[in-house]
Amino acid sequence: MPVATIGVFALQGDVREHLRVLTSLGARAIGVRRASELAACDAFVIPGGESTTMIKLARTFDLVDPLRERIAAGMPTFGTCAGMILLADRIEGGTSDQETIGGLDVTVRRNAFGRQVDSFEDDLDFHGIEGPVHAVFIRAPWVEEAGDGVEVLARVEHGPAVGRIVAVRQGPLMATSFHPEVGGGDRIHRLFIDLIRQS
């Protein structure tokens, strides 16, 4: 019996990787491009990609408002990298006209760690997961500021950005600035599925 129908934003980004991990965990994972497909979902994943392109495509395909409504109504949603940017209520380092879907009471800085050549990997202490979590950061954001209701799940452990917030949760919403779908494990996706069950 599938744990849930989990939609993955499928207009741009690491769609296949998320679908593969979620399916391996027993979820019914589907790519979502239209509001009618979103309506069939119990939960949602916004993958890594290019946040400005993703929001423009979501607007073109009439997904922005339905997504905002479902998230406001409590649909569990998980954003990774660009997905974290799209779930943030506030952005620093974005374009002047950049909009988000919102829902997370955080300020996120785009490309906080630098350009593509500054991509890196780190092992993180992740709240709710036993043992270190291997994290792959690619042109990643970080959380500049988190509201009172936001739980910090992980911070950078090493290097010049040590202490920066890179994973958060607020109610049924979860976000990481790194790419757990390419990090070689499924523990963070398992945590999201637990969050869906709790919701």
Which residues lie across from 155 on neighbouring strands?
165
Of the residues 17, 18, 41, 81, only one is catalytic, namely: 81
181 tagged catalytic: yes
Q: Record the tokens describing residue 186, joined without a space.
A: 């499924």
Q: How many CA atoms lie within 13 A of 137 on its CB side?
A: 31
Q: Record the tokens describing residue 83, joined without a space.
A: 């997905």
179 tagged catalytic: yes
Of the residues 17, 18, 179, 189, only one is catalytic, namely: 179
Within 10 angstroms of residue 148's Cβ, the number of other Cβ atoms is 6
> Comparing C-alpha atoms, which of 32, 135, 136, 17 is closest to residue 77?
32
Residues with Cβ within 8 Å of 188's Cβ and at least 6 positions away in sequence, in order, are: 126, 129, 133, 176, 180
Active site residues: 81, 179, 181
